[in-house]
Amino acid sequence: MTLRRFARLVALDLRRSRRRLAAAGIGVAMGVAALVFLLGLALGLRSTLLQRVLPLDRLEVAAEAKNLDLLGLRFGLGSDTLDGELLASLRAVPGVAAVYPKMKLTVPAVASGGGSLLGSAVQTDLVADGIAADLVSDEVGDVFRFEGLETGTLCESDRQCGDQAYCSGGGAGGEGSCRRYVPVLVSPHLVELYNGSFRRAYRLPQIDPEAVVGFTFEMAFGASTLRSSGRRPPQRERMRLVGFSDRAIPLGVTLPLDFVRDVNVAFGSARAADAYHSAIVRLDRPRDGPAVLAAVEEMGLVVTDRGARRAAQMMVLLVAILAVVGGAVLVVAAVSVAHATYITISGRRREIAVMRALGAGRGQIRGLFLTEAGLVGAVAGALGAALAVGAAAVIDAMGRFWVPDFPFKPDSFFEFEPWLLVGGMILGVLACVFGATWPTLEATSADPAKALSES
């Protein structure tokens, strides 16, 4: 039989059996939809948790602090920082792709401004962390890269300095120099906290995270509203909010590492330049985690987010459970298809016998029925995958409108990788072909005379 004639026969048969096949296909479509939907949900949640909340391919490592508790106070014994040598040792651990040091701002700082945004200027003490721009470049690009404060350009007004700098010491006929804003990153969690609680308590307006990027304010380093300032006069800088990052500290502001280092040295000692408070260790692969963890502990360091790692591993387990549930739904659908196909093919025994009498070989009949089943499976699989994506879009839309913002709320709860959609379609085909195989083999194995005599 030529391909064209075979296709013709399949087309005729599908046309004739469209209602029956649609009924059988719906079962598989629902099974595929359930599997793709559950796996998409599991992968979406996994991505959110592992990439944003609890990154499984990253460990935060710190020096183990030794403390002495006395009369309700805790006194630190020895150093609790990492130096460049330790960081180099960390980079040499097999399975470590990169090490990003983090440095806390060790002097008090006061932020002030916000009159244009909040209606009246506010002033508050702030804590800050310094991180390397490379750590967040995948999230915010290059806007966080710090190129030093001085530009070397003389000016009389801010307009002469462009967007990234302001005129320091200029104005009123005096000549100043352009000085760069210090780029600032903020955690989305902080904005949610402000919009959720802080603004209500202080009767301040709600802020739109998108609209506040570019907002500038002033910070005085070495100053405090809580206690008297030190001997050295505060260092005043203008800050510019350049974006939001899940890797920014939840409460406070995140500044470029080089800037924080300079401030710490200026207000402390030269040793502060090599005193990092923790480091983010990025792994080559998540599965390298246990080995790297062991190596880190051997170096006398501690991983600060063990609980998070356990939660991340639980998430992996959850994904596996959802996959098993989805797979079970598909298996039930396949058995249902097998049953429906068995009944259908049993009802076509006479037709099969007639075709055999007219010269059709067993292989041709089997090819015909299994091709039909495969086509139904492909359509059902595609429909199932589309249903899953559609249902996910509806749920995401509902989530956007009805679920209040919460920290790390994702844009989508689902993640449909191409392999998942293609895999869903292939599973649909396999389910239908599997369902049709046994009844097809049984129906074609008997002599045609038997089926003809039964009709």
Partner 1 sequence: MQDPLLAYTLPVIQARSVTRTFPGRGEVLRGVDLSVGEGEFVTLVGRSGSGKTTLLNIIGGLDSGYEGTVEIDSTDLQTLGDRALSILRGSTVGFVFQAYHILDHLTVAENAALPSLFQPTVNAMSRDALNERVDQVLSAVGMAWRAAERPATLSGGERQRVAIARALLLRPRVLLCDEPTGNLDPHTGHEVVDLLRRIHEDDGVTVVVATHDEVISRSADRVLELRRGRLDDWGGPVRAEP
Interacting residue ranges for partner 1, rule: CB under 8 A: 1-2, 5-6, 8-9, 12-13, 15-17, 350-351, 353-364, 447-450, 452-453, 455
67 beta partners: 76
Q: Smallest Cα–Cα separation from 46: which of 408, 315, 320, 419?
A: 315
Closest CB to partner 1 among residues 179, 356: 356
Rounded Cα–Cα distance for residues 132 and 252 (Å):
17
Rounded Cα–Cα distance for residues 123 and 141 (Å):
30
DSSP string, 35-99: HHHHHHHHHHHHHIIIIIIS-TTEEEEEEPPEEEEETTEEEEES---B-HHHHHHHHTSTTEEEE
- Residue found by looking up tokens 């206690």 in the block: 227
Give min distance, CB of 412 to partner 1, in A: 45
Closest CB to partner 1 among residues 205, 361: 361
Give min distance, CB of 10 to partner 1, in A: 10
Closest CB to partner 1 among residues 82, 368: 368
Closest CB to partner 1 among residues 4, 231: 4
252: DSSP letter? S
Residue 237: count other Cβ atoms within 10 Å of its Cβ. Answer: 19
Give min distance, CB of 28 to partner 1, in A: 23
Q: Smallest Cα–Cα separation from 238: which of 322, 113, 53, 124?
A: 113
Q: Smallest Cα–Cα separation from 155: which of 172, 143, 171, 139?
A: 171
Give min distance, CB of 20 to partner 1, in A: 11
Handedness of CA 21, 24, 29, 30 (dihedral sign): positive
Give min distance, CB of 364 to partner 1, in A: 6
DSSP helix/strand/coil, 217: strand
Give min distance, CB of 444 to partner 1, in A: 9
Closest CB to partner 1 among residues 3, 211: 3
Closest CB to partner 1 among residues 343, 449: 449
Closest CB to partner 1 among residues 282, 350: 350
Strands 73-77 and 66-70: antiparallel
Give min distance, CB of 358 to partner 1, in A: 4
Residue 225 in tokens: 């509203």
* CB of 79 closer than 8 Å to CB of 63: yes
Q: What are phi and psi of 244, to 5 degrees?
A: -120, 145
171: DSSP letter? B
Rounded Cα–Cα distance for residues 181 and 397 (Å):
38
Q: What are phi and psi of 325, to 5 degrees?
A: -60, -45
Q: Which residues contact 236 (CB under 8 A, 6 or more apart)?
A: 218, 219, 220, 221
Closest CB to partner 1 among residues 16, 306: 16
Closest CB to partner 1 among residues 291, 354: 354
Q: Smallest Cα–Cα separation from 388: which of 411, 417, 410, 408?
A: 417
Strands 109-113 and 253-256: unpaired
Give min distance, CB of 353 to partner 1, in A: 8
Give min distance, CB of 349 to partner 1, in A: 12
Closest CB to partner 1 among residues 107, 360: 360
Give min distance, CB of 455 to partner 1, in A: 7
Residue 270: count other Cβ atoms within 10 Å of its Cβ. Answer: 7
What type of residue is 80? Answer: D
Closest CB to partner 1 among residues 309, 348: 348
181: DSSP letter? P
Give min distance, CB of 15 to partner 1, in A: 8
Closest CB to partner 1 among residues 384, 448: 448
Give min distance, CB of 23 to partner 1, in A: 17
